[in-house]
Amino acid sequence: MPRIKQIQKDKKEVTIQGAIKHYRQSDKPSIRNSAEKYGLAYSTLRGSLIGGESRGGGHRRMQVLTEYEENSIVRWCERLDEWGHHARLAVVRNMAQAIIDRRVNRRSLGKHWVSRFLNRHPRLASKPSTRLDRQRALANDSLILKDFYQKVC
């Protein structure tokens, strides 16, 4: 679900940028005409033209962790994945709490912090574990492996 929301946000941002470009390049600039042409609300385009931030951008300073700290957690999760370990949601939360505990002015994480963290970083996706395929489980038998290596070597 987070990936679909991210695609919709990216698509809307591209639409807004296209409308801004149209407004600035037109002979008779009109916010209303540019907004109608790109299917945007007048107030959305007007707010973007005067330098308004998106909702996510405006609330970024209110987040518990800085952008750098969140990116370090993302890199840590990706590194764990490369090593073949899975970063469970509780472990990610504990890692974030460990970063916060080192600060002088401590704040606690909210109960929805992990799900919002995953929404902000869509390249991290939580997926349920799958059952081990029967053929793969049988291939892990030590007798079969010894027989295979005796034949190969």
**Using one digit for the tens of pLDDT, what is the confidence trace for 44-102?**
888 888 876 666 566 667 788 888 999 999 999 989 888 878 888 999 999 999 999 98
CA distance 71 to 60: 14
Residues in contact with 66: Cβ distance below 8 Å, sequence separation at least 6, in sequence order: none
Candidate from 84-88, 114-118, 133-137 with smallest mean pLDDT: 133-137
For the chain, give percent helix, strand, coil, nearest 5.
Answer: 65, 0, 35
In eight-state DSSP terms, residue 50 is T
CA distance 66 to 58: 14
